[in-house]
């Protein structure tokens, strides 16, 4: 065992999460379902490459219209 280890200590946050998981055993599955709605998406590589190719390069000063009015 490490000299710095505290074997019988658990933080308040750890205790809260352990209690939450014990009270709601379905919580982890609900989190996975929520993640799949927002983050786990299939990427259409053709559309992504078309979108990247169709971007217009931005000027260094975005409010400059291109005409030389000085």
> What mean pLDDT value characterizes the chain?
85
Is 43 inside any structural domain?
no
Record the pTM.
0.46
Q: Is residue 56 domain-resident? A: no
What letters, b where the CB count within 10 A reaches 16 and e where it falls short, cover 5-37? eeeeeeeeeeeeeeeeeeeeeeeeeeeeeeeee
24 found inside a domain: yes
pLDDT score, position 68: 58
In angstroms, the first-to-last Cα distance of the chain is: 74
Residue 48 inside a domain? The answer is no
Q: Tokens at residue 48, please?
A: 């992504």
Range(s) of the domain holding residue 16? 11-38
For 40-69, what is each residue's pLDDT tens digit?
888 899 999 999 999 888 778 878 776 655
Domain-located, residue 19:
yes
Instruction: Give the total number of structural domains in the chain.
Output: 1
């Amino acid at each position: 065992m490490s000299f710095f280890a505290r074997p019988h200590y658990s933080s308040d946050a750890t205790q809260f999460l352990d209690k939450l998981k014990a009270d709601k055993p379905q919580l982890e599955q609900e989190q996975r379902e929520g993640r799949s709605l927002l983050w786990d998406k299939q990427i259409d590589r053709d559309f992504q490459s078309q979108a990247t190719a169709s971007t217009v390069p931005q000027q260094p000063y975005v409010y400059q219209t291109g005409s030389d009015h000085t």
